[in-house]
Every structure is written in structure tokens, then in C-alpha cells.
Structure 1
């Protein structure tokens, strides 16, 4: 649980820091720097022997690399258009879908549906709704669901963090021409680069390692339900760091999501204790 909580908090803190660099670097430039930082950090930690990977190991790694590249770009562009809280809440539909698809207990289904109701309230249409931003956030949601499943497969086929490091390296290579172009078009400043570098550590390196370790200990369904804390973190950090204010109905929806998450975690913990007894 500590790994999943730390992953969510680090991820949303990194996203808020990244948003501070959008006016200078743009979402594409920030994502590129983030991917490069993640690749360097994870390669330094894991030191994977890439030539020793088998075809069966490379397949999920390449899939995870593609998910990294698309998920980060769509999410950051959505954050730039519709704000951190709403973008992350929509992205949460990905792990929520994983939770619903893998559920076999009625209590898990109830908790996931309660969280989904909270998401609906948070994303209710407004006259000024940015539908492109919402669409990008939903695409990020699809990628997050695939990330959960692929990261679990990578963890099963490659010990340690070697699989995640390899995926980050491939994703970083994909962003070399894109990032170079973005940085050439948007002259970087020291402050913006520092924000992008911090986002790379907080939103990529730390969550990748935490999620990899967590998914080896808990089912993908449980992981998906627990990730409901991310909209909460996003709303709070968006308020404190970016000055994004939510209405009372939105905070009520967040409370529903937190409650559903707490019930799911508590009942799963009780079930594990019964099995161990």
C-alpha cells in the first residue's frame, strides 16, 4: 500500500511541477525532457543487458515503451488544456476499467461503481468544456489501463527494474527528434528545465519503480481500484500549486472516491488475513 500511495503522490506532484514549465517549453518539450530523465535514472539503477533479452521479453517491453510515450504526451497536453484535476480524473477511468474487468467480488464492483459515479460528477459538462482536452485525457486513460497490464507482464518476465528501464530507454529514443524540435522552437529557460527535470524524476522514475514492485505483490484489479487516490492528489496539488479551484460538488465526488477506495482496500486486507489464518 505504501508503494502505491507514494507512486500516486509523486506522480501528481511531478505533473503539477511540469505544468509550471508548459508556458515556456510546451507539453511536448516537457514530456521529452521527462522521458530522457526517466531513461537515464532507470538505466543507471537497473543496468539491463538489452542484448540478452529474448523475443518474449522484448514484446511487452516495446509495448510498454509505446504506452509511456503516448500516455505522457496525451496527459500533459490535456493538463495544459483542461487542468490537472480534471485531466487526471479522466485518466483514472483506465485503472477503473481494469478494476471492473477483473472484479469477482461484489464489494469490489460496488466500490468501483461508486468511484465511477464520483468521476462522472467531477467531469460534468460545462458551457466552456474543452472536448479535445477531454478526448486526450480519455486516450491517456486507455494507455494507463494498458500500462497496468503490461507493467505486470514485464515484471513477470524480467526480474528487478530491467524491463521498465528498457522501456524507458526505448521511449526516450523515440522522443529524441520530437524533443529536439520542440526545444528548438521553444527556447528553454533554466527554471523551465529544472521543472521538466523534476517532473522526470517525480512522475516517471519514482512511479515506474514503485508500480513495478507493487504489481508484483497485488492483483492488477486491486491496483486499479487503489489508484482512485490519484484524482484526490491531483485536485489537492492543483489547488495548492496551480491555484485550480473546485466546486463543492467536485469535493463531494472526491470524498466518494476516497471512501470507495478505503472500503476496497480494507475489505481486501481482511480477505488476505483470512486466507493466511
Structure 2
């Protein structure tokens, strides 16, 4: 009887992998589309449109009338929603100043640092060195082909990307606790709605522009769907079947997918040195995921 179940289970896992990759790809495509709308709405206006529209979509799916908030959930909701707002705001501020692949790689150091924090294994020191090497390769000034001048990344954009990574840390810490109190769909909906309230000052100035440019307003709605609604739904479907280890391995590829998306859709070609920096971040994340389980078994 087990031989009949295993193929079905294996098919379900492969389907979950496809869903998760689809969610990650959808987010990256949404980011490239959002960057194309920056000249009209600006990065702050775009983040206001994206988060507030995504909140409305999620509220339509998981209706607030069905939710019961406990005092413990209310206590976590403010930092949880604030972290969502900070992540998205800083990500878009960085995106207008840096290539997509570099922004994703710098942002990814946040949860990676959280995963490595407090570890005393010598092997984790290797992953820390990979992170440091990756940051060095990404941030070091490069000699331009013309006039031999050194070209450094925009420091404000770098700080914004790293701050987005810090927001991701708070999101993970508060989100995991929220997930134990509320259904995952309800927790994310409330978090996105709270973030939307924080970002209302970014949304309100864009409303006249949306009215006078309905096609671009529709594109902004597409960003909300591609970058929030679709990835969330696909991630939720995938996480029901994937083990945490498999989930971590797939998410580790996000910096590389960001670099590839920026190259294909935005023409943001990175130098070999900065590709190597992105790869170092990916290797550090993969190594941490692949060796973490061994440590718990001993």
C-alpha cells in the first residue's frame, strides 16, 4: 500500500516546489514592473499603491468579520505590520537607486544573519565568511571602463536595502509568533492591512495620478497582485507540503533570481565581481540550510 502512496506524495512535493518557484518568480516580475512605474508614481508612491491594494485584495479573500483578535495578537500586530511597511518601503527606495539583484542580495542578509546568530559551530563560521565576502564583492567600488574612475554603489540605496533586511528580521520574529495565534491567512491579511495604514501618506498623493492615468493605475494593481497576492497564495499552498529544509533551499535562490530578473527584464547587467557577491550570499544561505538539520540530529 505504501508504494501506491509514495508516487502521489512525490508528485505533491514536486507540485509544491513549482508553486513556490512560481511565487518567487511572480514577486521578482512584480518588482521589475514596479520599477518601470517609478517615473510616474515614484518609489514611495508605488509602495503605497502596492501595499494598500494588496491589503484590499487580501481583506476581500480573508474577511475581517471572520477574524477573532486576542490581546496577544493585538500586541504583536503593530510591530508585525510596521515590519511589513518598513520592508516594502525601504525595498522600493533602494530599488530606484540600485539594480534589483543587488537590492535582493543585500536585503537577504537580514534573515540570513538571524539564522546564523548565536551559532557556535565552526561550520557556521564558514557561512558568515561567505556573507562577509559577498557583501565586500557587492559593495566595493569598481573601476569604470572610461577614464579609469572608481564607481561605488549609491550609499543611500545600500542603507535602505540593509534596513529592509532588518525589517525582514522583525517580520520573521513577529510573524512566526502571529502564526501560532492566528490562521496564517488572517495573520498576513491583518499585517498587510496594518502596513497599509502606515503607508497611507505614500498612497494619498498618488490618487489624482491614478485617476488621470488609469492604464498605469491598472499596472500598479498588477504589481500588487504579482508582488503580494499571488506569491502569498502560492507560498501558502506550497508550505503545506514542503519541509522547512526544502523551503529554505528554494528561498535561498531568491537573490540569484533577483539578479537574473533584473538582467532580463530591466537590462541591469552586473559585473562578474558583483555576480560573485550574489553567489556568495546564495552559498551562505544554502550551506546554512543544508547543514542545520545535521546539527539537530547529533
Corresponding position of 2:244: 218
When Rg is computed on C-alpha atoms for both structures, the one with the higher figure is: 2
Once the two structures are overlaid, the 10-residue window that deviates more, 16-25 or 100-109, is 100-109
Q: CA deviation at 1:244?
A: 0.3
* Displacement of 1:251: 2.1
Does the C-alpha gap of structure 1 residues 241 and 180 become closer, same or farther in structure 2, counting only changes over 3 Å? same
Assess if the C-alpha contact under 8 Å between 2:98 and 2:157 holds in 1. yes
1:147 aligns with 2:171: yes
Could you tell me which runs of 5 or more consecutive residues in structure 1 were left unpaired when the two chains were aligned: none
- Which of 121, 142, 151 pairs up with 2:137? 121
Q: Distance in 2 between matches of 1:109 and 1:212?
A: 34
Tell me the distance in 1 between the aligned counterparts of 2:80 and 2:255: 23
**Aligned residue number for residue 15 of structure 1:** 31
Pairing 1:232–2:248 present: no
Residue equivalent to 1:167:
191
TM-score, structure 2 length as denominator? Answer: 0.77
| TM-score (norm. length: structure 1) | 0.83
- SS of the counterpart of 1:52? coil
Unmatched tracts of structure 2, length 5 or more: 1-15, 143-150
Where does 1:1-277 land on structure 2 (aligned, <5 Å)?
2=17, 5-49=21-65, 52-101=68-117, 103=119, 105-126=121-142, 127-184=151-208, 189-209=213-233, 210=235, 214=239, 218=244, 227-268=251-292
Q: Per-residue displacement from partner, 1:64-91 (whole Å, max 9, x unpaired)? A: 1111112211110111012212222211
Residues 81/269 of structure 1: CA separation in 2 closer, same or farther (3 Å cut): same
